[in-house]
Structures are given as structure tokens and as C-alpha cells.
A and B are shown apart, each in its own frame.
Chain A
Amino acid sequence: MIELINLQVKYGRRQEPIVKGAHAKFENKHLILGPNGSGKTTLFRAITGLAPISSGRILIDGVDLDKIYSKPGVLAINLSEVYSVFHLNAYDHLRLFMDLTGGEVDLALKMLEDLGLSNDLLRKRKPWELSAGQQKAFSTVIALFSNARHVLLDEPFEQLDPARKGRLIEHLREYKGVLLLNTHETWLLSALKDWNTHLMFEGKLYGSLHAGEIVKASLVARDKPDAMLKFTVSGKTYSLIKGGVGEPLSRLITLDRIYELSLGEAENI
């Protein structure tokens, strides 16, 4: 289980915090849904110890993150920057990380092949020479096959074609362990209906609700007392309500549209 206790992340003393007082427990499969720039990736970096925690704590299986060192099998993440160690090809990097985490190279290679990254390609290219989508798929597969109890996936579907998205979703459904997946795309709510979902806006984490509930919910730009969930964007309060008159959240396609709504269309929903 990953537990966030009043977590605040900020770079530099004078800067505005990027993650603001996040409280959450992640012990199953979770979606973190938020627009670009809402702090999702920074939150993941903080959980991995790659971003500075200005206040609060992160516990992984009850152990403070600061006290975790040299512990394979605890956590893995799909940020491509952590999987470029040497000026060597992607295949060597895959071998290295599977060796250091006790993962299965053959299974990872099979999954990579499924996602369109052949063994031949991995031997020819360095990780940063792969296309953006291939880099994401490469680091996602390493994270998933690292035998970790907790896996953080930052926008794993970005630039994957629909067929490969489908294959990856199947794999995520079967994964035994805690999964945290962040995205700004709302179509995942329908694909992963039984996952717990948090919303993230302007550094604040809201929720959780089941993805299935959010799919059926509607968004209104008002503070509704009977709301399933309320959140604030650009100083305006929004409510997620069951059914009803508002805009279904899933119809926004990407949560980046929330800013457009907060600027102009909000009054219409």
C-alpha cells in the first residue's frame, strides 16, 4: 500500500507547490485523472523519491520513503529518464533492469513485441533514440515486469495505437499488485470501470470514486450539496453529480478541456 499523508511538493522555496496537501491510500488499482500540468507526474516522481517533498510523508507498505534503499520488488515506475543509464542499446538496458529487479527478460521481450518493439529494434536503438510512443511502451514494460508490488504508470497509453492500447489494458487488468495509472484521457474510465479513480486539478487530489460511477456522472459548474465529488479549478467549484443535467465527464475526451470550461463554457453546463 502507498499512503500519502498531507503531501506537498515544490521546487525552490518561492515557487507555488505543485502537489498541495495530498492525502490518499493506494492499495489496489487506481486511476489518477487530471489535465496536463495538474501535478500528476510530479506526484509520481515524489512517490519514487525523485521530487522534493516539502512537507508531509509517503509511506510504502508502512515504511517511510526516505528509509527505502536498495529494495527491489517494492516499486517501479515508467518514467523513461530512469531507464537510460548508459550509452547502450535498449536491449542492454532491459537486461540490466530485469537483472537488478529479478524480472523476466523473455516475458518482457514478448510484451514489447506485442507493443510493436521487436528484439531487433531494441538491439539497434538506444532508449532515447526510440520514438516518444516507443519510449513510453519500453519503460512501461520494464516497470510492469520488474516484479514490483507497486507500479506507477505515467500516461502509458500516450501515442499507442488502438490495438496496442487494448493489449496493454488486458495486461493491466491481469496485473497482480498495486497499480497507479495517471492520465488526462477520459476514455480509460469506461475501459477500467472497476478501478478506483482520483481526480487531480491544480495540485490537489480529489476522490476516490469508482471509474464506473464517474462514467455515469455529470459535471456541473456549481457547488451542489448532493455531489458525489466536488473540486475547484481556477477558483470555480465543480460538482460531479449522478446522471442529471450536466456534461458527462467522459464526453470531455481529455480533462485538458476543463480549463476551456472554466474560462467560457462553464455557465452552460
Chain B
Amino acid sequence: MTLYLRLKIKDMLTTPELLGWGIGFIEFWVLMWIFVFSQISAGTAWKIYVIKTNITMAYSFLGLLSMSSVAAGLSYSLFYASRAARYLTKFTRIGIVRFIVEDFLGSLVAILIFTLVIFLSVIGFSYMKWGILALPENPIGVIVDLIIAGVALYWLAYMIALAVIVSRRTKALTMVSYIPLIVGFIAYSQLWIDLGNLVYFMPLCPLPALLTYHGIGAYPPTGAYFMWLAGDKLLPAINLRLAAISVFAWTIIFIILSLILLRKSKGIPIEEIRL
């Protein structure tokens, strides 16, 4: 592992803002979810299955929210690093491609570590409450879903930082850096709202469905997960193939737009990249 990559990971894992929002803030909701909102008690096999589904939903939705919080902070750090990046890629060993790859890999590793903390705490706290160890049925599937989420959110954050630079609207950074968090909360809103077919068009909204499917093996609905969990209403099952295509498509869109903006950002003087 190169020193740049090591320091990138260290940077993200030691930034108080990222720790506060990505872990502290989300852990609060983990505790609320497990100990306050989940009133069900274990008993029959069906109830255990419902609890396991509830736990799976908790790490899926809260994990995604944690990633979104980290991505919001990432927009900031990518914006600031872009000033030094000009110099780094010209007069040091780190070329443009290596810089992008290492920055991306470092961020992805850090994002996944943040999510792992949320995942483990959901598993641990739910074991404390119900004595049920709700490990994913398809762990590889869950890991792949989380990696895709991390990739998509990294490029969304990068796209935002570059859009601010290219449009020369640096003062808008504070506002637009929240876009990943807004995306995360729209996905989170599916706990109560059924987006219907809109779910396939909204960035990253189908991800909790993929995570829930790989976590518990059930075919989740297009939204209104709590209603689905309670069995109050029959909801249409999500098309997992379309869900996966949607997530891949948005990830590719973010990557392509970032690369286009990266080319456009080349001529912008360093003085303009400051708040």
C-alpha cells in the first residue's frame, strides 16, 4: 500500500466531522431503531424471521445513510485536495490516473469501514436485545452491494466537487455538498413511502432492496418497508434485476460526469478554488 493511500484512509478515519456524522449520528439512530422503535419480541419462528428482517433493514438503511453522510464530507475534502492535486500530479511521482485511483480506493476503504462499524453495531445491539444473531444469508451479496454503494457515492461526491469548481460557484459548496446526504435520506424515506416504479429512476434508491434481498433472502417491495414488515398491506415486490441495473447505471453516470468535469476543470486557476 502506498503512503498516499495509507494517509488518505487515515485522513478519512480521523476527521472528526466524518466520525461524528458517519458514525456518531448514525449510531444514535441504530440505538433508537433497536431499542425504541422495534417493539416486537422473539417467540415463534415467524416472529424470529420478522426480527431478522427488521435487523437486515436496519443495517441496510442506516448503513446507506452513514455512507451518504461520509460522502457529504468527502465532497469538501475532494474540493480542497483539488488545489494540491494540480501540483501533485505535475511535479511528484503521483500521476493523474494514480491520484484518482488511489484517492478513490482510499475513500472506498474508509467508507466501507464506516459502514462495517454500523453493520456490526446493528448486529451486536440486536443480539443484546433479542439474542438473535442476524448475519446476512448472502454475505458476498451484501458486501458487493455495499461496495457498489461506496463507489456510487464516492463518484457522486467527486462530481459535486468538480461541478462547483467548473461552474466557479465555490460558495455553493456548503449547500451542494449535502446532495449525497439528501440522496441517502430519499432512500431512507422508503421505510414509510412507496416510491412505486420511481424507485428505479432515483439514484441509489433500489440499494436497500438489494441489501435486504441479500441479507434475508426476501423479495422486498418498491417501498413502504415498515408497512411490508408489519404485513399491513400487500405491496408489489421490487424487480431486483431492474434495481441492480438502476444502481449500476447511476454509478456509471456519476463516473462519466466526473471524468468530463475533471477535463473541464483543468484550465481553472487555483485562486478560484477557494471559499
Contacts and interface: CB of A to CB of B under 8 A. Distances in A.
* B is a partner of A: yes
Interface string B233-247: 000000000000000
Interface of B: 3-4, 7-8, 10-11, 14-15, 77, 80-81, 83-96, 98, 267-272
Contacts of B87: 48-50, 77, 82
Given A76-B91, A86-B81, A88-B14, A99 B3 contact: yes
A87 interface: yes
A51 to B, nearest CB: 5
Contacts of A45: 269-271
Nearest to A75: B91
Contacts of B96: 69-70
B269 A87 contact: no
A166 B186 CA distance: 61
Contact of B84 (A51, A68, A82, A87): A82
Q: What is the predominant secondary structure among interface residues of chain A facing chain B?
A: loop
A70 B269 contact: no
B269 A11 contact: yes
Interface stretch (A89-97, A189-197, A206-214): A89-97
Which of A74, A83, A99, A148 counts the most chain B CB atoms within 10 A? A99
Q: What is the predominant secondary structure among interface residues of chain B facing chain A?
A: helix
A70 B89 contact: yes
A253 interface: no
B84 A72 contact: no
A84 B11 CA distance: 12
B74 to A, nearest CB: 12
Nearest to B15: A87
A38 interface: no
Q: Name the interface size band of chain A.
A: 20 to 34
A51 B269 contact: yes
Contact of B92 (A52, A72, A88, A92): A72
Contacts of B271: 11, 45, 51
Contacts of B98: 70
B11 A71 contact: no
A95 B94 CA distance: 14
B93 A84 contact: no
Given A82-B84, A86-B11, A87-B11, A148 B91 contact: yes
Contact of B10 (A76, A77, A82, A88): A88
Contacts of A92: 7, 10
A163 B270 CA distance: 34
10 closest cross-chain pairs (CB), A and B: A70-B95, A100-B92, A86-B11, A82-B87, A50-B270, A99-B3, A85-B84, A87-B15, A72-B93, A100-B93
A49 B86 contact: yes
Given A11-B271, A49-B87, A96-B3, 17 more contacts: A45-B269, A45-B270, A50-B87, A50-B269, A68-B91, A69-B95, A70-B89, A70-B94, A70-B96, A70-B98, A71-B90, A74-B91, A82-B84, A85-B84, A96-B7, A100-B4, A101-B92
B80 A48 contact: no
6 contacts: A48-B90, A49-B86, A52-B269, A85-B84, A86-B7, A102-B93
B198 to A, nearest CB: 38
A267 interface: no
B84 A81 contact: yes
Interface in A97-136: 97, 99-102
